[in-house]
Amino acid sequence: MTTYQKQIARRIAGAHSNCPIEVKDGNFQPYVAGQSYHYETKGGRVIHHPSAYRRFGWSNMAYVASTIHVVVGLQWIEDRVGV
């Protein structure tokens, strides 16, 4: 996939310019998939306000990295943005 094709796919999906791209078989336009970063307890419950836990010293919080990415069909790229 060329840099130009990546730019077009990200722009159509409405994603950031550094968002990773996953190419799958098919003819579908780009869309954003995944989940933003967040904090969870070690048991898996989402913490909505992590700053509320900052004064306790020992923390039960765990950072979960973002999994946001753009998914695009290979046929769609070749047909519409073939370079």
Question: How many domains would you assign to the chain?
Answer: 1
- State residue 80's pLDDT score: 85
- Give residue-wise pLDDT tens across range 13-72: 999 999 999 999 999 999 999 999 999 888 888 888 877 766 655 677 888 999 999 999
Give the three-class secondary structure for 60: coil
Q: What is the DSSP string of 11-48?
A: HHHT--TT--EEEESSS---EEES---EEEETTSPEES
Look-up of token digits 């700053």: 51
Question: Could you list the residue range(s) of the whole structural domain that residue 69 is in?
Answer: 3-80
First to last CA, the chain: 9
Give the three-class secondary structure for 57: coil
- State residue 56's pLDDT score: 59
